[in-house]
Amino acid sequence: MHIDILTLFPQMFDGPFGTGIFKRAVERKLVSVNIHNIRDYTHDKHHTVDDYSYGGGAGMVLKPEPIFEAVESIKPESGEAPIILLTPQGRLFSQQIALELSKYSRLILICGRYEGVDERVHSHLVTDEISIGDYVLSGGELAAMVVIEAVVRLLPGVLGSEVSPLDDSHVAGLLEYPQYTRPAVYRGWSVPEVLLSGNHAQISKWRHEQAILRTLERRPELLDKANLPK
Ligand code: 4HQ
């Protein structure tokens, strides 16, 4: 998969992309990323990317021209890649959407700043709008990183063969069961007996029950969508 990111703060991506699973995926050529500075697509001497909002009001709006031109500069080779804007007005990001995006060979993500981007970017350039949740960020960069991290780990070969992303909690529609490691007793708190029993059928049953109980207590609305036997 190839990912293009449009941003005014390219340095923000250095940390996450230079670490861990993502770095390894890039090294193994399972994913490639190109970060484009929106400011590079301005033509005036001050490299202006924002302007006042027509009609007045506080805050600046990102101008359409540099964003259109940045996308057009990468578009010739991009084919049917979705052009995704990170915005609180987008569809709420989920594991289901991560899976959907993981099927594309190419993604283009646009990170806004200030009070937002000119409406013509929404209406005539982007093909998808995604929100990572109902809270306000200062820019779309962290939201883009969240989306990319969730998508990239679904690409074939990115996780080791030992772990399947299809076993993850939100895939099954339930929260994760409790996990323990050594020591068996820590400060007087013991690991549940069944996990030390070596009885794998009983362990599976216990974990499934715990996952359901936890989901019922903390996120009951998830149970409606989970496919559980009667
Ligand atoms: N933004 N999920 C970028 C967000 C946001 C979110 C606010 C997007 C500021 C300029 N993006 N604008 N929540 O809060 O995606």
pLDDT tens digits, 60-76: 999 999 999 999 999 76
Tokens matching residue 120: 């013509």
Please give the Cα distance from 105 to 32 (Å, whole number).
10
Residue 77, pLDDT > 70, answer no
Q: Is 110 in the pocket of ligand 1 (CB under 6 A)?
A: no
Band of pLDDT at residue 118, cut at 50, 70 and 90:
very high
Strands 83-92 and 60-62: unpaired
Q: What is the pLDDT of residue 137?
A: 98
Q: What is the pTM of this model?
A: 0.94
Q: Is 139 in the pocket of ligand 1 (CB under 6 A)?
A: yes
Burial class (CB in 10 A: 0-12, 13-18, 19+), 154: buried
Q: What is the pLDDT of residue 79?
A: 65
Q: Which residue is closest in CA terms to ligand 1's atom 13?
A: 88
Q: What is the pLDDT of residue 164?
A: 75
E strands, the chain, in order: 2-7, 32-37, 50-52, 60-62, 83-92, 106-111, 128-131, 185-186, 189-190
Q: Is 133 in the pocket of ligand 1 (CB under 6 A)?
A: yes
For residue range 81-101, what is the model confidence (pLDDT) as tens digits?
999 999 999 999 999 999 999
For the chain, the 3-state helix, strand and coil shares in percent, each to the nearest 5, are 40, 20, 40
Q: What is the pLDDT of residue 167?
A: 67
Residues with Cβ within 8 Å of 194's Cβ and at least 6 positions away in sequence, in order, are 202, 203, 206
Q: Which residues are catalytic?
A: 88, 115, 153, 168
For residue range 8-65, what is the model confidence (pLDDT) as tens digits?
999 999 999 999 999 999 999 999 999 999 999 999 999 999 999 999 998 999 999 9
For residue range 171-218, what is the model confidence (pLDDT) as tens digits?
779 999 999 999 999 999 999 999 999 999 999 999 999 999 999 999
Q: Is 137 in the pocket of ligand 1 (CB under 6 A)?
A: yes
Residue 170, pLDDT > 90, answer no
Please give the Cα distance from 25 to 128 (Å, whole number).
25
Exposure of 45 in the CB half-sphere (CA atoms within 13 A): 0
Query: What is the DSSP secondary-structure string of 140-179?
Result: SHHHHHHHHHHHHTTSTTSS-TT--GGGSHHHHTSPPPP-
Q: Report the separation in Å between the CA atom of 22 and the middle of ligand 1, taken as the mean of its atom positions.
A: 23
Residue 162, pLDDT > 80, answer no
Choice from 94, 136, 142, 145 to test ligand 1 binding pocket (greatest atom count within 8 A of CB): 136
Q: Report the separation in Å between the CA atom of 65 and the middle of ligand 1, taken as the mean of its atom positions.
A: 20
The CA-CA-CA angle for residues 88, 155, 149, to 5°, reads 35
Identify the CA nearest to 7 among candidates 136, 157, 140: 140
Given a contact cutoff of 8 angstroms between Cβ atoms, the answer to whether 101 and 82 are in contact is: yes
Q: What is the pLDDT of residue 228?
A: 82
- Strand partners of residue 185: 190
Q: Report the separation in Å between the CA atom of 113 and the middle of ligand 1, taken as the mean of its atom positions.
A: 8
Please give the Cα distance from 209 to 35 (Å, whole number).
45
Tokens matching residue 211: 């996952």
Q: What is the pLDDT of residue 60?
A: 97
